[in-house]
Copies of this chain bind each other. A is one copy, B any other.
């Protein structure tokens, strides 16, 4: 099976590495101008569409590693080749207004929010949400959100004019700030026949809008909270007639409640721990799903923490000397804020794992000190 991937970054590369053993071969279609997958031919998008046509001739099946693609492009692809997840999944996931509407329709709890189309409406929404008790609000562009870009936090309605200009989009969603204890993510996979498997949720530690650590399984996660998140994502998967890996990011509040933040219709950085910490990785399960193969076991093997390598790495000999460290470099040049790779650390118990994560963070330039919500 020749699989075409829209996008040509590290997620595409890791999909290909997981797919070779399944007998798959890969080609990539890049719209970013900086492809890095480097494992199979890459077609670079061009004006007249001939690169897209050439790409499509090389593939039996198309998936994507990046959802901020023109819907029109994705429709063109789907008209010619099987595409998973569907155009509808991309359309909804790349539009925060659509996404919120779907969450609402499926009774998935979200923070109170408003849609606004001017600085004045933004100020008004900010006032309203803060009157209802929000300590602050977060304004986000409706489209093209990625890694904290196109977002602003407002602590007062008087911040509205500046925030509006900083974001520079025509429509925003304004959300009450959630007073959360931790950020978590639920990753699930739906097969072509509607079969669904769920990974144990991960706790995610962001810094400056970039994911730095993901740890799973969480030692203090109540079984009913895991089941609740599974219920939410199952509803989303079914509503979208989804095939492949879907990621749902949520907040957990002090009283244990889950509040959905956003979803990503693809393999996700917070699921990289599954490469070494679960029976079947998210990458392999995505490929199994889109090819109509049986889904693999999602059980965690041992406590695992993914540590992102951002901007600058440490020498491989230093990182590989850490206990049970699995290195995943993407082959990219160092550049501030760039995701260059990650380390998966595995340990027999969470306490040992946290010690090793602490050690890893000290080896990596500019890594923030790891902080998790639980005590072990």
Contact = CB atoms under 8 A, between A and B. Distances in A.
Interface of A: 13, 17, 20-23, 25, 38-39, 279, 288, 291-294, 296-297, 301, 316-317, 320-321, 323-324, 326-329, 331, 341, 346
15 contacts: A13-B20, A17-B20, A20-B39, A20-B331, A21-B327, A21-B328, A23-B331, A23-B341, A39-B39, A279-B346, A291-B316, A293-B316, A294-B317, A297-B323, A301-B301
A266 B228 CA distance: 49
B25 A38 contact: yes
Contact of A327 (B22, B38, B321): B22
A321 B294 contact: yes
Contact of A329 (B17, B23, B292, B293): B23
Contacts of A317: 292-294
Contacts of A39: 20, 39
Nearest to A13: B20
Contacts of A328: 21
Residue with the highest number of chain B CB atoms closer than 10 Å, among A38, A288, A293:
A293
A346 B278 CA distance: 12
A126 to B, nearest CB: 45
A75 to B, nearest CB: 30
A146 to B, nearest CB: 24
B294 A320 contact: yes
A99 B323 CA distance: 36
What copy number does this chain have within its complex?
2
A111 B28 CA distance: 55
Per CB-CB distance, the 10 closest pairs between chain A and chain B, nearest first, are A23-B329, A21-B328, A294-B321, A294-B320, A293-B320, A293-B317, A17-B20, A297-B324, A293-B316, A17-B17
Contacts of A13: 20
Nearest to A302: B301
Given A301-B301, A320-B288, A329 B296 contact: no
A23 B316 CA distance: 9
Nearest to A18: B17
Contacts of A326: 21
Nearest to A1: B316
Given A21-B341, A23-B329, 10 more contacts: A21-B326, A21-B328, A22-B329, A23-B316, A25-B331, A292-B317, A293-B317, A293-B320, A294-B321, A297-B324
Nearest to A332: B23
A301 B331 CA distance: 29
A310 to B, nearest CB: 16
- Most B CB contacts (10 A, CB to CB) among A17, A301, A323, A341 go to A17
Contacts of A316: 22-23, 291, 293
